Amino acid sequence: MMQDIMAKIAKYTGINSIHSNMDKYWPDSKQNLPATKYLDLGLMMFWWLEKHNDLSVQEQVNTLLGYIIDHEFRIKYEELRHRKLTLDTKGLIPEEL
């Protein structure tokens, strides 16, 4: 029973930590928030940074540059600009913006 309680506390502590980090990640100014069209990419970047927070900033930059240089991740601007939104918005926001 005590282990179950401790597991729940750890889970909520982790969730609170993620919420706190999200507050730090998103800019305070609403003018600088990502557009809905790119919100999923912003969330992916936040999650990537959370998963790789053990790396130094330079190591993170080098890893991201490696992704960009890798041919598998190349995408043309037009493809990005006209891509479908990958978030499930329950029909509140159109898939194509």
- Report how many domains make up the chain: 1
pLDDT grade, residue 11 (50/70/90)? low
- Say if 12 falls within a structural domain: no
- Say if 17 falls within a structural domain: no
Residue 92 has pLDDT above 70, yes or no: no
Residue 55 has pLDDT above 80, yes or no: yes
**Distance between CA atoms of 38 and 81, rounded to whole angstroms?**
9
pLDDT score, position 34: 78
- Per-residue pLDDT of 29-41, as tens digits, reads 777 777 777 788 8
- Say if 4 falls within a structural domain: no
Residue 49's domain spans which residues?
35-81
**Distance between CA atoms of 93 and 40, rounded to whole angstroms?**
13
Q: Give the closest residue to 51 by CA, choosing from 23, 21, 76, 82.
A: 21
Task: Name the residue with higher pLDDT: 72 or 2.
Answer: 72
pLDDT score, position 44: 85
